[in-house]
Copies of this chain bind each other. A is one copy, B any other.
Amino acid sequence: MRSACISVKLGIRERLSPSCGSNMLSCWLSRLCRGFSTPTGRITHLSRGSLSRTLVLSSQRRIPEFSSFVARTNTCGELRSSHLGQEVTLCGWIQYRRQNIFLVLRDFHGLVQVVIPQEESAAAVRKILCEAPVESVVRVSGTVISRPPGQENPKMPTGEIEIKVKTAELLNSCKKLPFEVKDFVKKTEALRLQYRYLDLRSFQMQYNLRLRSQMVMKMREYLCNLHGFVDIETPTLFKRTPGGAKEFVIPSREPGKFYCLPQSPQQFKQLLMVGGLDRYFQVARCYRDEGSRPDRQPEFTQIDIEMSFVDQTGIQRLIEGLLQYSWPSDKDPVVVPFPSLTFAEALASYGTDKPDTRFGMKIIDISDVLRNTEVGFLQDALSKPQGTVKAICISEGTYLKRKDLESIRKFAADHFNQEVLPVFPKASRNWNSPVAQSILEEQRSGLIRLMEIREDDVVLLTAGEHKKACSVLGKLRLECADLLEARGLVLRDPTLFSFLWVVDFPLFLPKEENPGELESAHHPFTAPHPSDIQLLYTEPEKVRSQHYDLVLNGSEIGGGSIRIHDAELQRYILATLLKEDVKLLSHLLQALDFGAPPHGGIALGLDRLICLVTGAPSIRDVIAFPKSFKGHDLMSNAPDSLPPEELKPYHIQVSWPANSEAEKSSLNQPYCPES
């Protein structure tokens, strides 16, 4: 932990974040544009893995040709001293102008300085370059020359050269902008979304979208070219799936008949396995109508994979190889295999099924140490049959202020109705808490031994039933990390990508609205754990599944399972255990009868993964045209009202809510963006 803090403090300077200056971003973009690759035969990540046979593609990749087929010879950002003396034609946007002497021209690749000619014979060129407003598009032709000694700009990738212009053409003039296209100019997200086409010009958005494209391309190479997967498109005009309450509906031209937009290609990919297309993948658009949920999108993308004749380990090794192969070369390489925890272990140690394993602070059961405690609420808890006392040790927790600890206690009380006790077993400082003082000396030393407590550490105690106590401490663990980082410590190395498999989930959960009935913990096609098959018929709530989640830095970025390929078992689970209407799935059940191979798969959430890789604050920053959290396109004003005659072919009409007459009459009012 402690050594990580130091390295992090160094590492963070290199971290890509929206507050970086555009020069630094321009450097990063420039590296990105050279590909995740090297012009010479450098050894790639894969050679560190087990797939050394598959090196050819990546190690010999060339830099793409960015100026083929178009009216430029080079990009602005690629020019270096090696181009000195070359005649070039550049197209770009005017980033800024200095005293009518210099112009900085920008394209996706970077910035370059253009010298505005001062001589009388170049009056026409000078006029164009001096009069065009900022963000106008121009084409210039000229010679790459050295900057005069002392005027080089080492922070700029093109800082050693400039362009001596011969001709210039104004391709399009720019009107007054709603905001400046400079990364350091702050603007609200609503404004950025409304003028998304301007926001996309920022180096940050260019970096995010280009990195996304390149990572997906590498994933395709890995799946298609190296491992023989077939990229198959599945329909998005489908029908309602059982329990698919979050599916958008699409009226058809047949009265009362609706398509639905699927939440995933789950059924289709299983049917492809039955169809003998035994290694399927798709970068699949999926849809989920969740109303307003922060950091979710009504349409999203997943890397969707299914294989026949595979087991859990096979899928895990495939995905580890996939991430290793596609990982950006400007990040630390991915180390495989990823560690794995069972669902039960994850809950016990981290209080969640998606632990952030970048830092320790694990939950420890200290029931035995405190068996004879005199602290009232601990005593109460331990006297119950399932009662436990749990704790986390906050490294350097003495950096927390009194009000931090108060907010933690309040958080636990408000959200979990749970008492939490901070103690400082080794600190000289104490809070005069009578409760803390009633912990006996032998208990204190027991705790210090068990939890490896050091000077400056703080311990948070709570008590109660295992799952609840763990959940509370799991949340507090993250809260404490946030608080400590707000106080200047660095617990979560921003250059660290900590992958984790979580396995052995329960197959069923009690229904929230009716705990006597079961629902699938994930989906009804998940195969039970082979050791637990018999429990299906006796204690189904105890059956573990062959589901696996992939977690990165505390976010679930993927999930999958081995599927049921036996029609009888599938029918039993759907009809008898889940009480679903099997008619809706008759095609799938029938398919399992006709020689369905054993199969399994996984889906990775691409938006979330790219968000974590780029360090973006929101998935909206890795999507070209995202919806707002209310599901609106703030640029085009979608969704929009339609005249009733356009609904007629679909045999639907709007049921206006009683209180929305006012709203209805205001539909044609000018659009007012949400804040």
Contacts and interface: CB of A to CB of B under 8 A. Distances in A.
Contacts of A648: 655
A565 B135 CA distance: 15
Contacts of A635: 271, 587
A33 interface: yes
A523 to B, nearest CB: 16
Nearest to A93: B595
Interface string A214-241: 1011001100111111111111111110
A641 B565 CA distance: 28
B639 A276 contact: no
A60 B136 CA distance: 44
Contacts of A256: 641-642, 654, 656, 663-664, 667
A233 B299 CA distance: 11
Given A271-B635, A277-B624, A285-B285, 17 more contacts: A62-B225, A70-B307, A71-B310, A71-B314, A108-B277, A173-B595, A198-B594, A210-B230, A217-B225, A240-B642, A250-B639, A251-B251, A255-B654, A255-B660, A255-B664, A651-B655, A652-B653
28 contacts: A54-B62, A60-B60, A64-B227, A70-B307, A70-B309, A71-B311, A91-B308, A93-B595, A108-B276, A135-B595, A137-B596, A172-B565, A172-B592, A197-B275, A200-B271, A210-B230, A217-B224, A235-B625, A238-B633, A239-B640, A249-B251, A249-B642, A251-B251, A251-B652, A254-B639, A255-B663, A257-B640, A268-B625
B239 A277 contact: no
Contact of A61 (B35, B225, B229, B655): B225
Contact of A56 (B62, B175, B235, B309): B62
* 8 interchain residue pairs of minimum CB distance: A200-B275, A64-B228, A239-B638, A174-B595, A69-B314, A257-B639, A66-B228, A197-B274
Interface string A316-345: 011000000000000000000000000000
A452 to B, nearest CB: 39
Contacts of A221: 221
A639 B239 CA distance: 6
Contacts of A68: 227, 318
A201 B275 CA distance: 5
Interface string A404-443: 0000000000000000000000000000000000000000
Interface residues of A, number: 147
A245 interface: yes
B239 A624 contact: no
Contacts of A289: 253
A601 B76 CA distance: 22
A314 to B, nearest CB: 4
A236 B172 contact: no
Interface string A579-616: 00000000100011111111000000000000000000
A91 B640 CA distance: 52
Given A175-B593, A197-B274, A310-B71, A227 B65 contact: yes
Interface in A279-330: 279, 285, 287, 289, 291, 298-299, 301, 307-311, 314-315, 317-318
Contacts of A200: 271-272, 275-277
Contacts of A214: 224
A255 B171 contact: no
Given A210-B230, A307-B69, A633-B238, A291 B638 contact: no
Nearest to A91: B309
A422 to B, nearest CB: 44
A108 B275 CA distance: 9
Given A108-B277, A641-B257, A646 B245 contact: yes
Most chain-B Cβ atoms within 10 A of its Cβ — which of A173, A216, A276?
Answer: A276
A62 B285 CA distance: 30
Contacts of A53: 62, 65
Nearest to A106: B276
Nearest to A63: B228
Contact of A597 (B64, B137, B216, B308): B137
Interface string A44-66: 00000000011011001110111
A30 to B, nearest CB: 13
A53 B238 CA distance: 44
A642 B204 CA distance: 44
A137 B278 CA distance: 12
Most chain-B Cβ atoms within 10 A of its Cβ — which of A35, A177, A210, A213?
Answer: A213
Contacts of A171: 309, 565, 597-598
A401 to B, nearest CB: 43
A647 B227 contact: no
Nearest to A667: B256
A399 interface: no
B108 A278 contact: yes
Contact of A278 (B107, B197, B591, B651): B107
B285 A624 contact: no
A289 B251 CA distance: 11
A348 B272 CA distance: 48
A71 B315 CA distance: 12
